[in-house]
């Protein structure tokens, strides 16, 4: 299963896209989905350079490929 209640954040106080990326990457790290927050953030930024992952109305699906991913999952904020 890719949905995990431990990676769904409902009361997040962020102001920037970078804040969102870091918050979700840290949660994925805490829950064992990635082995390095910084390496995973690098993968997200690399993917964003190819094209934005925002789809409108404050909704985005940021993602990236990284060796730091230890298991597939989804983080939601």
Q: Tens digit of pLDDT for each residue in 18-35? A: 999 999 999 999 999 999
| Residues 34-54: tens digit of each pLDDT | 999 999 999 999 998 898 888
**Is residue 75 situated within a structural domain?**
no
* Domain count within the chain: 1
**Is residue 65 situated within a structural domain?**
no
**Is residue 67 situated within a structural domain?**
no
| pTM as predicted | 0.89
**Is residue 25 situated within a structural domain?**
yes
**Is residue 70 situated within a structural domain?**
no
- Backbone dihedral region for residue 4 (phi beyond 0: left; psi -120 to 50: alpha; all else: beta): beta
Cα angle vertex 75, ends 37, 25, to 5°?
Answer: 10
* CA 53 remoteness from chain centre: 12
**Is residue 77 situated within a structural domain?**
no
State which residues form the domain around 21: 5-60
Q: What is the mean pLDDT of the chain?
A: 91
């Amino acid at each position: 299963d890719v949905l995990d209640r431990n990676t769904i954040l409902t009361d997040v106080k962020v102001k920037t896209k970078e804040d969102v990326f870091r918050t979700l990457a840290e949660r994925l790290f805490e829950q064992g989905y990635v082995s390095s927050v910084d390496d995973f953030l690098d993968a997200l930024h690399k993917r964003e350079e190819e094209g934005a992952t925002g789809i409108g109305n404050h909704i985005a699906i940021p993602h990236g490929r990284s060796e730091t991913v230890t298991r597939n999952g989804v983080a939601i904020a």
